[in-house]
Amino acid sequence: MSGASVLYDAPGPKTKARNRLYSIVGAVAVVALIAFVIERLGAKGQFKPEMWNIFNYADVRNNLRDGVLTTLEVFAVAAVLSLALGVLLAVARLSDHKPVRWLATGFVELFRAIPLLITIYVLWVILLANRDALGLSGNGPQFWALVVGLTAYNGSVQAEVLRAGIVAVPRGQAEAAYALGMRKTQVMTTVLIPQAVRAMLPTIISQLVVTLKDTSLGYIITFEELLYTARQMSTNIIVNGSDTYVPVIIVTGVIYVAMCLALSGLATWIERRGRRTKTGVAPATAAPAGDPATAADTGKDPAATP
């Protein structure tokens, strides 16, 4: 079933009129809901110019910028490491050696089952206790606890995604490669993984969006990323005797949504490029901006998990 339009007939004159009525009612309802929210917040003085004037101050902007940069820094390191770990685990899970396979499976299942928040918290306590031995100082333990936690969880998920991609490559490809005299490593790195990555890119990037969002869990271990900074500012900046929670939360939310959408935009773009060539494995189905992780169409490809 390709489009939703199959679900209803091309409207006749009567239906058209009725749909128009529904449209108006629907639009009114949506607008009324938004208006209600805005009106209630306005009544509490949340839209007064003074409230929003705080973003004109250099300090506030610098804090926001530093928060965004810290978030992006954690994300960049965690993204690279989790992809590397994902490849490693995926290959290990397909290994011919039983112990390797078991170890990888155990790792993946363990870290996918435990809440990331707990992983990060435990890693932090462990890193803090051993910070001298590891040569970490200042923000080091927090940073690495967050990065390693994100890597362990997202790496496990990426491994499953990649494994599904590798399994989906037609068996003839690997057989042909072996027939040409390639070794196991060569087959994996030059034939299977490139095709798997291409096929699974949309899902991989949706999981990267999850990674980006999850950097906000750093608040639990006093790591000052975007959300932590925003929280601090929202209660410490007092205007007219009330907190600036609403403006700060709205601005922070917009920044996060924009960052994530930019990343999913990348997914759409890559997918469109991938579609041009018809060889090899078909890329997983559309993961356009805002609604990625629908690669689960067949029910067997793992989708990105929130």
Stretch that binds another protein, among 81-89, 90-98, 188-196, 259-267 (CB under 8 A): 259-267
52 binds another protein (CB under 8 A): no
- Residue 35 binds to another protein (criterion: CB under 8 A): no
Cβ distance to another protein smaller for residue 169 or 267: 267
84 binds another protein (CB under 8 A): no
Pick the piece of the chain touching another protein (CB under 8 A) from 74-82, 95-103, 177-185, 294-302: 294-302
Contact between 305 and another protein (CB under 8 A)? yes
Q: Which stretch in 83-91, 117-125, 161-169, 195-203 sits in contact with another protein by CB under 8 A? A: 117-125
For the segment 167-226, give every residue that binds another protein (CB under 8 A).
Answer: 209, 213-217, 219-222, 224
Whether residue 228 contacts residue 218, with contact meaning beta carbons closer than 8 Å, is answered with yes
Q: Measured from the CB atom, is 58 or 179 closer to another protein?
A: 58
CA-to-CA distance for 61 and 54, rounded, in angstroms?
Answer: 9
Residue 113 binds to another protein (criterion: CB under 8 A): yes
Q: Residue type for 65, please?
A: R
Q: Which of the 8 DSSP states describes residue 11?
A: P
243 backbone dihedrals φ, ψ, rounded to 5°: -70, 160
Q: How far is the CB of 233 from another protein (least distance, A)?
A: 6
CA dist., res. 216 & res. 260, Å (int): 13
The residues pairing with 238 across neighbouring beta strands, listed in sequence order, are: 243
When asked if residue 279 is in the footprint of another protein (CB under 8 A), the reply is no
Whether 304 and 207 have beta carbons less than 8 Å apart is answered as yes
Scan residues 130-149 and list those touching another protein (CB under 8 A).
Answer: 131, 137-138, 141
Residue type, 60: V
Among 84, 261, 273, 282, binds another protein (CB under 8 A): 261
122 binds another protein (CB under 8 A): yes
Q: Is 304 helix (H, G, I), strand (E, B) or coil?
A: coil
Angstrom CA distances, 242 to 147, 190, 231, 239, 249, stand at 36, 60, 14, 6, 14
Interface with another protein, residue 19, by CB under 8 A: yes
Residue of 246, 270, 280, 281 that binds another protein (CB under 8 A) = 246
What CA–CA distance (Å, rounded) separates 265 from 280?
Answer: 24
Asked if 240 is part of the footprint of another protein (rule: CB under 8 A), the reply reads yes
Instruction: Check residue 170 and give left, alpha or beta (phi > 0: left; psi -120 to 50: alpha).
Output: beta
Q: Which of 64, 147, 199, 200 binds another protein (CB under 8 A)?
A: 64
Q: How far apart are CA 84 and CA 79, in angstroms?
A: 9
Closest CA to 246 of 43, 21, 102: 43
Q: Is 11 a binder of another protein (CB under 8 A)?
A: yes
- Told to check if 129 binds another protein by CB under 8 A, we report yes
CB 165 within 8 A of CB 298: no
Q: Is 23 in the site for another protein (CB under 8 A)?
A: yes
Q: How far is the CB of 148 from another protein (least distance, A)?
A: 15
- Considering the complex, state which of residue 100 and residue 239 has its C-beta at the smaller distance from another protein: 239
What is the Cα–Cα distance from 3 to 1, expressed in whole angstroms?
A: 6
